[in-house]
Structure 1
Amino acid sequence: MKADPGFYDYWPYDKRPKLNWPGGARVAFWVAPNIEFYELDPPANPHRKAWPQPYPAIPGYSIRDYGNRVGHARQMSVLDRYGIRGSISLSTALCDHHPEIIAQCAERDWEFFSHGIYNTRYTYGMSETQERDMIHDAMVSIKQHTGQDCAGYLAPALSHSELTLDLFAEVGTELAGDSAGFYTCDLFHDDQPTPINLRSGKRFASIPYSLEMNDTIAYVVNKIEPRRYGQMLKENFDRLYQEGADSGTVMCIPTHNYQVSCPHRLKAFEEALEYITGHSDVWVTTGREIARYFIDNHYDTAQASIAAPSGEY
């Protein structure tokens, strides 16, 4: 039995070389709207049920439909107001089901990264070939519908396999070469980007994507009220901003248009964005840009630090 997944090496936070962001920013800040498509009656997966209710699961399906019908426009307007380009964790079936959403985001130069095809079809139980084909299909769809090479990956419904990162890097290189700056959001182990171990040896990074700041985890799992969620976002930023004076940190807010965009929740999110973007030494950016900058400017130094016997460099 493995002691850990083996995707990354232990690297003490307090012994790392300094990470510098563009313009001397303390924090690289990005927002990752999960824009998803859920099927009402998906194929059954023996490892996980798509819905807790028997068919037809109207409550779960319809609130997610609300997100794409109403919530997306509401969230997009807020992000526009604060000059934030979303990095979309995209169920690529949305390209066919709601192409108008794809067009609206592309007009704003938002990033699109892969969240699988449907959020009701999981990686669990797939063969290596099946998972490779799913990853390939999603990346090709993003390219066809947006013109962007897909650089990032978040497994559908966080259904990760031991080969997910290897396959994404390999398929991505086949489709886009090595210039995309590939990254994963599936590992929740750090507040800075880190190098990832792949069987191919390709340069690949993990970018912080916080489950703790994720609106679904906050509202559905932890049962947090909107006002407290807004406070959490600010307090999370304050700590990362403080530590970022010594070495750059990353803050991500993962959102869902059927959660944060509900009328009674949106104000707390707005106020947090106003607070965060009100700091001049914050790099308001995208997941792709964080990954590319880290790989180009800090990846080799990070690898050398990890390899040093004392953990220092």
Structure 2
Amino acid sequence: MKTDPGYYDYWPYHDRPKITWPNGAKVAFWVAPNIEFYELDPPANPHRKAWPGPYPSIAGYGIRDYGNRVGHMRQMKLLEKYGIRGSISLSTALCDHHPEIIELCKERDWEFFSHGIYNTRYTYGMSAEQEREMIRDSIETIYKHTGQKCAGYLAPALSHSDDTIDLFAEVGTELFGDDAGFYTCDLFHDDQPTPIHTRSGKKFVSIPYSLEMNDTIAYVVNKVEPRQYGKMIKANFDRLLEEGAESGTIMCIPTHNYQVSCPHRMKAFEEALEYITGHSDVWVTTGREIASHFIENQYDTAVADIAAKQGGMKK
């Protein structure tokens, strides 16, 4: 019986080697807009229903379509106002369904990372080979439509399997070498980058992608009001900024263009963005840039420190 996921070792938050961000920043700040495509009538998955009610789920589909028609434009304009380049958690089928969105994001130099093909087709029940092909398809689609070598992965609808990380690392290497497939957003366990075990031995990291700051979790699961969500974002940032004075931290806001971009929710979100970007000691960046910086500058030191601490605990 497994007692933990096995992707990483226990590594106490205190007394780690200091993480330094560019220009002495205390916090690496990134926004991850989930730009997704939900099929009205997807293939049935025996492990999970795509829609809570019977087909056709016009209400569920409609608000998500609103996100791609209206909400994306509203959020993109807001992020641009505060100098934030989005790191898109992309349902890659969007490249075919809404290529105009892809072009707008390319023009603004946003990052594209894989969130599977459709957010209504899950990893649950797939064989390893089926999942490998889904990951390969998504990476190749991103490259075809954007020219970017996909660096990161978030499983569609968070339907992560025991093979996901290894498959993503391997497929990225097969297609593009070490320029692709080197970070995951699927683990949610830290406020700093974490070295991750892969069977290929590839340098691979987990980058904090906060479910607590995720607008869907806030609004749908925890029933938080917009004003309170804005306060939560600021409080989260304040704490990470304080701790970042000792060693660099990461703050991520995962968004959905059919959640935070609704008119009545935008003001609180904008006030939070204005507050965060108003600090001079914040690195406003992308998921790929965070992962690359850590791998290039601190990965080996982190691995050595983890090994030393594990050895000390075993004595």
Which TM-score bucket, shorter chain as reference?
Answer: over 0.9
Q: What do residues 176-226 of structure 1 show as CA deviations (whole Å, max 9, x unaligned)?
A: 111347100001000000000111111000000000000000000000000
The letter of the residue matching 2:298 is H
Asked if the contact 2:205/2:291 (under 8 Å) is kept, the reply is: yes
Q: What do residues 231-255 of structure 1 show as CA deviations (whole Å, max 9, x unaligned)?
A: 0000000000000000000000000
* Residues in 1 aligned to 2:304 and 2:181: alpha-carbon distance in whole angstroms: 19
1:210 matched residue in structure 2: 210
* Residues in 1 aligned to 2:128 and 2:70: alpha-carbon distance in whole angstroms: 37
1:235 matched residue in structure 2: 235
* Residues in 1 aligned to 2:281 and 2:39: alpha-carbon distance in whole angstroms: 42
Instruction: Report 1:126-205 matches (<5 A).
Output: 126-180=126-180, 182-205=182-205
Asked if the contact 2:19/2:298 (under 8 Å) is kept, the reply is: yes
* Cα deviation, residue 299, structure 1: 0.3
* Residues in 1 aligned to 2:312 and 2:22: alpha-carbon distance in whole angstroms: 29
Q: What do residues 84-134 of structure 1 show as CA deviations (whole Å, max 9, x unaligned)?
A: 000000000000000000000000000000000000000000001000000
* Cα deviation, residue 15, structure 1: 2.0
Q: What do residues 229-283 of structure 1 show as CA deviations (whole Å, max 9, x unaligned)?
A: 0000000000000000000000000000000000000011100000000000100
Which of structure 1's runs of 4+ aligned residues deviate more than 3 A? none
Select 1:310's aligned residue among 299, 309, 312.
312
Asked if the contact 2:173/2:181 (under 8 Å) is kept, the reply is: no
Asked if the contact 2:29/2:285 (under 8 Å) is kept, the reply is: yes
* Cα deviation, residue 168, structure 1: 0.1
Asked if the contact 2:26/2:282 (under 8 Å) is kept, the reply is: yes
Q: What do residues 152-178 of structure 1 show as CA deviations (whole Å, max 9, x unaligned)?
A: 000000000000000000000011111
* Cα deviation, residue 297, structure 1: 0.3
Mark the runs of 5 or more structure 1 residues left unpaired by the alignment. none
Instruction: Report 1:67-78 matches (<5 A).
Output: 67-78=67-78
* Residues in 1 aligned to 2:133 and 2:180: alpha-carbon distance in whole angstroms: 20
SS at match of 1:232: helix
Asked if the contact 2:38/2:64 (under 8 Å) is kept, the reply is: yes
Output the TM-score relative to the length of structure 1. Answer: 0.99
1:297 matched residue in structure 2: 297
2:14 matched residue in structure 1: 14
* Residues in 2 aligned to 1:233 and 1:24: alpha-carbon distance in whole angstroms: 22
The letter of the residue matching 1:233 is I
SS at match of 1:220: helix
SS at match of 1:191: coil
* Residues in 2 aligned to 1:179 and 1:295: alpha-carbon distance in whole angstroms: 12
The letter of the residue matching 2:105 is C
The letter of the residue matching 1:79 is L
Q: Are 1:23 and 2:23 matched, yes or no?
A: yes
1:3 matched residue in structure 2: 3
* Residues in 2 aligned to 1:232 and 1:85: alpha-carbon distance in whole angstroms: 22
* Cα deviation, residue 310, structure 1: 3.4
* Residues in 2 aligned to 1:248 and 1:222: alpha-carbon distance in whole angstroms: 29
Instruction: Report 1:255-294 matches (<5 A).
Output: 255-294=255-294
Asked if the contact 1:71/1:258 (under 8 Å) is kept, the reply is: yes
SS at match of 1:229: helix
Output the TM-score relative to the length of structure 2. Answer: 0.98
SS at match of 2:178: coil
In structure 2, relative to structure 1, the CA distance for the partners of 1:181 and 1:294 (3 Å cut) is farther
* Residues in 2 aligned to 1:98 and 1:178: alpha-carbon distance in whole angstroms: 29
Equivalent pairs: percent with the same residue?
81
* Residues in 1 aligned to 2:22 and 2:165: alpha-carbon distance in whole angstroms: 27
